[in-house]
Structure 1
Amino acid sequence: MSNPIFDNSPVFGDPRKKRAGGRGGAATMTAGTAGTQTVDAASLDALYQAPAATTRDTGRMTYDDVVVRTGGLLGLLVVTGAATWVLAPGLWVVGAMVGLVLGLVNAFKRNPSPILITLYTVAQGVFLGGISAFYEQRYDGIVGQAVLATLSVFAVSLVLFRSGKVRVTPKFQRAVLIGMAGYVLYSLVNVGFMIFGVGDGMYGPLRSGPLGIIVGLVAVGLAAASLIMDFDSIKRGVDLGVPAKMAWSAAFGLIVTLVWLYLEMLRLLAILRGD
């Protein structure tokens, strides 16, 4: 049952019900003058003939909303990263810590906060700018290669999703989640070895050499699968008509995955070029 207040309103009520009301509708209109009846009927007919409201008119999330917010955040990320690279690359540690905290806060918030998501992007820009300067100093041209590789994986993932060749089924989701859990555990073990001085590579014994290349390729594959899951979530949100503010959450999720993918590309290219 709909709200009776809106049903009885000449503006919000269904004009088809008004015209089909017959004598009941005429009785309702007897309180007004003939001129008023003519104006009301014309208004109602105009409303009935008007085109259906779009998702933007109803305050629902659209693909354009997601694209605009994601593009804006990416632009901010690049500008902040470039400034950090030139002015203070040593701040990457601060950016990493602040980005981690803000990332967790945003991930567990029910309603997206544009301010916190923007601050997270700035922190990640500081982190990526500093770490990219470090990699570029050791391996000339590696940052450009990593950016191109990241954009290529993003484009391929989007094409595969749009074509329907890769579907996000429950089995697909379970496989990705299991793979990511295994990857996180593997990385933690590697960090433990580095803390205790096992191995002499800059990535630890489990992330260097041929094994590091294999793990890097697996990580890139997991990031690409995560992008496809992000695309599916966005499509589902648009289809369900979620509020427009949720476009911030969608953009945040894409930024997180792209940052991860870029870092894996940097690490993989560095290993291939000799760490």
Structure 2
Amino acid sequence: MAIGGNPVFNGKNFRTAARGNNSAAYGSTALAGQTAMNQQQLEHLYNQPSAGPADTGRMTFDDVIVKTVATIGMVLVGAAVPVFLFPSLAPLLMIVGLIGGFVLGLVNSFKREPVPALILGYGFLEGLFLGGITMFLEAMFPNIAMQALIGTLSVFAVTLLLFRSGKVRATPKAMKIFMVMIIGYALFSLVNLGLMIFGATDGMFGVRSEGIPGTQGMFGFENGIPFGIVIGLFAIGLAAFSLVIDFTMISEGVRNGAPRKYSWTAAFGLTVTLVWLYIEFLRLIAILRGSE
């Protein structure tokens, strides 16, 4: 029994040490019993189902779903704070959520390894911002929150179905076009924000609220089709393709056996995109209803 319980080496030890005495019978019996036990263990292991991704610490779709639900749950918890607990502090909480969510969003984006606490914290802070801005717009346009939520879930469902059917994919060429468009949209948003801050435009949403020249009276818009409608539809399209990118990265992660911890990275990406999509729907619906 000196070599780790291996029956072969135990037999050799037995033959060397037990020649010509009664211990030979004992050694043979022990060797036979151990061999039988090992055979039973091997048969038991052979009959077990093969180890799946969860057993080997790899990412699974279930992991991504669970962690995404947890992150979205934190968004809902954060939104409940200004809506139900401290409605009088909604403007302050909205600003805190906007700045804090932006900072944590950058931190999570540039960290090599996902940190669940930071991702959940991001969800909570984004919830503060969404709760505050939703309250503000809901007071002006009743039921806008429900309309924006339905729009967000609808785009998510349609995009997921198209992705699963193989009709849309994040190809390298499409990714390059997307990057150019997203950079252009980000620059426009920064310029529009600057115009709003310095009072260069009077619209609630800056340039987005202004009518497109030459479209007066079209589709019922007396002052022209709001520029924000075109930009809003464009942004929703970008967010939808961002979902395709998220789905593609998740599928590749599962197929390539990525470590389970990166399920949090996938959940963070989906949460960022869904928050962005909801905000774009809020803004688009507010512009449409404000032009009635």
Normalising by structure 1, we get a TM-score of 0.87
**Residues 93-242 of structure 1: matches in 2 within 5 Å?**
93-206=95-208, 208-209=210-211, 210-242=226-258
Per-residue deviation at 1:29?
6.0
* Aligned partner (choices 57, 62, 66) of residue 59 of structure 1: 57
Name the structure 2 match of 1:4. Answer: none
Q: Hey, which bits of structure 1, 4+ residues long, moved more than 6 A?
A: none
Which whole-Å CA distance do the structure 2 matches of 1:97 and 1:126 have between them? Answer: 10
- Unpaired runs of 5+ in structure 2? 13-29, 212-225
Distance 1:9 1:54, change over 3 A: farther
Per-residue deviation at 1:258?
0.5
Distance 1:84 1:42, change over 3 A: same
Name the structure 1 match of 2:16. Answer: none
Which whole-Å CA distance do the structure 1 matches of 2:210 and 2:133 have between them? Answer: 18
* Aligned partner (choices 215, 239, 260) of residue 244 of structure 1: 260
Q: Are the aligned partners of 1:61 and 1:247 in contact in 2 as well (CA < 8 Å)?
A: yes
Which whole-Å CA distance do the structure 2 matches of 1:173 and 1:160 have between them? Answer: 17
- Unpaired runs of 5+ in structure 1? 1-7, 11-24
CA RMSD of superposed structures (Å): 1.9
Which whole-Å CA distance do the structure 2 matches of 1:30 and 1:265 have between them? Answer: 76
Percent of aligned pairs sharing the same letter: 50
Q: Are the aligned partners of 1:207 and 1:215 in contact in 2 as well (CA < 8 Å)?
A: no
User: Aligned residue pairs: how many?
Assistant: 254
C-alpha distance after superposition, 1:227-270 (max 9, x if no partner): 01101100111111111111111111100000100000000001
Distance 1:207 1:249, change over 3 A: farther
Q: Are the aligned partners of 1:29 and 1:37 in contact in 2 as well (CA < 8 Å)?
A: no
C-alpha distance after superposition, 1:84-121 (max 9, x if no partner): 12313121001111111111111111111111111111
**Residues 12-27 of structure 1: matches in 2 within 5 Å?**
27=8
- Structure with higher Rg: it is 2
Which whole-Å CA distance do the structure 2 matches of 1:80 and 1:189 have between them? Answer: 29
